[in-house]
Amino acid sequence: MVIDKIYISERLKKLNFSTSVLKRLEEKHRFYHTTAHVLQVLSLLEKAKILDDDLFLTAVYHDAVYNPPANDNEERSADLFEKEAKVAKLNASKIATIRQYILDTKSHKSSDKKSQQFINADLDILNQPLEKLITFELQIFKEFQFVDYKIYQPKRIEVLKTFNKDGKLDALIEYIKYWKPSVGVFCGSFNPFHKGHYNILQKAERIFDKVIIAFGKNPEKTDRTWDIPKTIKNRQLGEYSGLLTDYISSIDREVVVIRGLRNSTDFDYEQNQYRYMQELMPEINIVNIFCDKEFEHISSSGIRTLEKYDKHQNYLLD
């Protein structure tokens, strides 16, 4: 049997469930809690010859709602399952059982033998070789981009120690203790933060382990009046009102400043700004990233002008 996305979709349909849950598993802020994780769990359950409908639905829905800053993801996932299970006319007893299995993944304490079998499959990644553990760790790190690494690192080690009763995670914990991610700071007035900015951010995130988005107050520009898009709220966000070099010094002098460029005019302006910053902070590192051609005409000022005629929506992020 091939366990893939088509398998999940077809089995959900057979059980009269909507396949909309699959879209949730592909949300942009997910890096580990994705369809790939669900497929891995299903494969392990199938290999053990215990993959019945109860465990199938538990696997598909246990991370259906995943918002890293929240502490009620399991409860909300269970609620979503129950709602969709009622529409599918699933037996009330089965709904209660599967709902409890989903809730068990919060504490990783099983309510019965089958629940324990699922928890074992869900946590199987912790039994893998160091190479896979590091890949897993980097995925979790990406999901918690909104947290300052100085806070994330000790908290993450604390969590891993709770799973390290036999010392199997010693090497991973040591890795996290000494690993220092490469960090970029994408700074600008961002009034608003638009699709062109997002294009630069995506490119920067292919270069750096983490990118902080810093909203600066430019005395030559109007104060920021636009809300921060939901699309970027899972990143670490910062604000500064003085010199950028002072802000960089306040967070970490080793971070790299990211500047987005649309054209040669932007480049000339940024080169001049760089000379000033270099005099204020000789060790400052700056990376200039050009946006793709389709975004080079977009500017925050242009969007603010178009807003007056209600023609600005296509340039904004959700």
Average pLDDT over residues 239-265: 89
Pick from 18-22, 217-221, 227-231: least confident: 217-221
Question: What is the dihedral angle through the alpha carbons of 79, 81, 82, 84, rounded to the nearest 10 degrees?
Answer: 120
pTM score, two decimals? Answer: 0.89
Q: Supply angle C-alpha 65, 80, 152, rounded to 5.
A: 20
Instruction: Compute the average pLDDT of residues 81-102.
Output: 98
Distance (Å, whole) CA 44 – CA 226? 47
Q: Compare 92 and 312 and report the one with higher pLDDT.
A: 92
Q: Which residue has the higher pLDDT, 93 or 217?
A: 93
Mean pLDDT of 148-177: 95
Rounded to whole angstroms, how far apart are CA atoms 106 and 76? 11
pLDDT at position 222, please? 64
290 vs 277: CA distance, rounded Å = 20
Which residue's entry shows tokens 């918690």? 144
Q: Which amino acid, one-letter code, is at 187?
A: C
pLDDT at 274 over 90: no
How much is the average pLDDT of 222-246? 87
Mean pLDDT of 255-270: 89
Please state, in angstroms and rounded to a whole number, the distance separating the CA atoms of residues 74 and 59.
12
CB atoms near residue 34 (< 10 Å): 18
Q: What percent of the chain has pLDDT over 90?
A: 76
State the pLDDT at residue 200.
Answer: 96
Is the pLDDT at 181 greater than 70? The verdict is: yes
The per-residue pLDDT for range 14-32, each reduced to its tens digit, is 999 999 999 999 999 999 9
| pLDDT higher than threshold 80 for residue 92 | yes
What is the mean pLDDT of the segment spanning 201-221? 89
Residue given tokens 């037996």 in the structure block? 91
| pLDDT value at 269 more than 90 | no
Per-residue pLDDT band for 225 (boundaries 50, 70, 90) equals confident
Is the model more confident about 217 or about 213? 213
- pLDDT of res. 221: 63
What lies within 8 Å, CB to CB, of 33 at 6+ separation is: 25, 63, 66, 143
* Confidence tier at 223 by pLDDT (50, 70, 90): low
Q: Which pLDDT score is estimated for 10?
A: 97
**List of residues 6+ apart from 31 with CB closer than 8 A:** 139, 140, 142, 143
